[in-house]
C-alpha cells in the first residue's frame, strides 16, 4: 500500500514522503535539513533517495544535508548546475524520459513548464501503484495512462487571482508570472479531462497559493470531476 505524507507544501517549502512497505522516497526537500529529519522521525538514512523537481529554494533547501547524510538525490543536470559546486557522488543526474531505478521504485522524469531550467515531474511505480508527482508547472504536454495516485500542483484559481489583481491586492507582474509558471485549478481540470482516470484512487493537491486559493472549493471541484478522495497538502505539517 502506498502512503503519501506531506511535510510541507507552499512557496515557503515543499517536501513529501512517499512510502510503500519498508520503501520510501522523499519528493523534493524544500525544508531545512533539521525539519526534514523531524518530519521523518530521524529516519532520513532509511530513505531510498530524494527526487528533486527543480532548483528553486522552496524545493531544494535541505539537499546539502541529505547528501551529507548519504542519501542519493536525483535531479537533471540543469538543476545540479543551478545548485552549483555541490555535486557529490550522491548527486545523481537524471535524463527526462529515461527510466531509472531507486531501490525498488521505477522512476521516469517528465518535463515541466516553469521558469527554472531543467524542471521535471516524476512518474513513480512501486508497491503496485503508478504515481505522478507534478509540481511547479503551468501545464503538462504529456498524458499519463494508468495512474493510481496523483500528487499535483493546484496553485491558484484564475478567477480568484484576477479578482485580487483588480482589487489591487496583487500586482500585474506577479499575476502574469504565476499564470505562466504554476498550475491553476482551471488548468488542472483540463488536465484531468485529458487523461484516463479509470485506475485513479486518490489525488493530493499541492503548493496552494496563500492568497489565491480556496481549499474547500478546490477540493469540491476536483472531487466532483474525478469521484476519488481529494486531499489538500498542508502548508506546514512539520513545525518550522
Q: Which residues bind Zn ion (CB under 5 A)?
A: 56, 58, 136
CB of 55 to Zn ion, least distance (A): 8
Smaller CB separation from Zn ion, 48 or 136: 136
Cα distance between residue 119 and residue 111, in whole Å? 6
Cα distance between residue 5 and residue 48, in whole Å? 16
Cα distance between residue 46 and residue 23, in whole Å? 8
Q: For residue 100, report the phi and psi dihedrals to the nearest 5 degrees.
A: -140, 165
CB of 136 to Zn ion, least distance (A): 4
Smaller CB separation from Zn ion, 20 or 74: 74
Smaller CB separation from Zn ion, 48 or 58: 58
Q: Rounded to 10 degrees, what is the CA torsion of 159, 160, 162, 163?
A: 120
CB of 51 to Zn ion, least distance (A): 14
Helix, strand, coil tally for the chain in percent (to 5): 30, 30, 40
Smaller CB separation from Zn ion, 10 or 195: 10
CB of 193 to Zn ion, least distance (A): 25
Cα distance between residue 179 and residue 22, in whole Å? 39
Report the run of H or E that residue 175 belongs to, with start and end.
helix 172-181
Smaller CB separation from Zn ion, 28 or 48: 28
CB of 11 to Zn ion, least distance (A): 6
Grid cell of 195 as nine digits: 487523461
Residue with cell 508547472: 137
Nearest CA to 30 among 71, 59, 50, 63? 59
Smaller CB separation from Zn ion, 56 or 61: 56
Q: By Cβ distance, which residue is nearest to Zn ion?
A: 56
CB of 56 to Zn ion, least distance (A): 3
Amino acid at each position: 500500500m502506498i502512503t503519501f505524507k506531506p511535510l510541507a507544501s507552499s512557496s515557503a517549502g515543499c517536501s513529501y514522503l512517499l512510502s510503500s512497505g519498508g520503501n520510501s522516497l522523499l519528493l523534493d526537500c524544500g525544508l531545512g535539513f533539521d525539519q526534514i529529519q523531524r518530519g521523518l522521525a530521524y529516519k532520513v538514512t532509511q530513505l531510498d533517495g530524494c527526487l528533486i523537481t527543480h532548483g528553486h529554494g522552496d524545493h531544494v533547501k535541505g539537499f546539502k544535508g541529505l547528501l551529507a547524510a548519504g542519501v542519493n538525490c536525483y535531479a537533471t543536470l540543469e538543476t545540479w548546475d543551478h545548485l552549483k559546486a555541490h555535486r557529490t557522488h550522491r548527486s545523481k543526474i537524471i535524463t527526462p524520459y529515461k527510466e531509472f531505478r531507486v531501490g525498488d521504485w521505477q522512476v521516469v522524469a517528465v518535463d515541466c513548464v516553469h521558469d527554472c531550467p531543467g524542471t521535471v515531474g516524476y512518474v513513480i511505480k512501486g508497491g503496485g501503484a503508478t504515481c505522478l508527482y507534478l509540481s511547479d508547472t503551468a501545464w503538462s504536454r504529456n498524458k499519463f495512462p494508468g495512474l493510481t495516485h496523483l500528487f499535483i500542483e493546484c496553485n491558484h484559481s484564475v478567477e480568484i487571482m484576477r479578482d485580487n489583481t483588480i482589487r489591487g491586492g496583487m500586482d500585474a507582474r506577479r499575476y502574469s508570472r504565476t499564470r505562466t509558471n504554476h498550475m491553476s485549478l482551471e488548468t488542472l481540470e483540463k488536465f484531468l479531462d485529458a487523461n484516463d482516470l479509470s485506475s485513479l484512487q486518490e489525488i493530493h493537491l499541492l503548493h496552494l497559493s496563500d492568497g489565491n486559493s480556496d481549499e474547500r472549493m478546490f477540493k469540491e471541484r476536483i472531487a466532483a470531476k474525478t469521484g476519488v478522495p481529494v486531499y489538500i497538502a498542508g502548508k506546514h505539517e512539520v513545525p518550522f
